[in-house]
Homo-oligomer: A and B are copies of this chain.
Amino acid sequence: MLDQTADLDRVFQALADPGRRVMMERLSQGPASVSELAQPLAMSLAAVLQHVQVLEASGLVRSQKSGRTRTCSINPAALRSAEQWISARRALWERRLDRLGEVLETSPPEDGTTGER
């Protein structure tokens, strides 16, 4: 089985940088070149390229060179995996809250043997 853990590491790490999120926002409107991505960002082209490489290593972005320009585009599958991890945890938590609500109606707070599932 795949080491999904390291993969999620890279995805969340990639999304943790505000500049990279700006790039993702730009890319969600459509493909763009490296220098287009650089435009709103007040940093050197070389720095932007490094960000692109981080995004690519995480799988969030794919790119290909044609001529002298590199065109980047979003890979929605990687976004989906991060989204699913989050929503699964949230769903678990909220389902638990539901159960807890029912228990509080009838039981005293102390329940020593919590038979999980």
Contacts and interface: CB of A to CB of B under 8 A. Distances in A.
A8 B86 CA distance: 14
A36 interface: no
A90 B83 contact: yes
A76 interface: yes
State which size class the interface on A falls in: 35 or more
A89 interface: yes
Contacts of A17: 9
A116 B28 CA distance: 13
Interface in A80-94: 80, 82-83, 85-90, 92-94
17 contacts: A5-B18, A5-B21, A8-B21, A9-B17, A12-B16, A13-B16, A21-B85, A24-B89, A28-B93, A28-B96, A29-B92, A29-B96, A29-B116, A79-B86, A79-B89, A79-B90, A83-B87
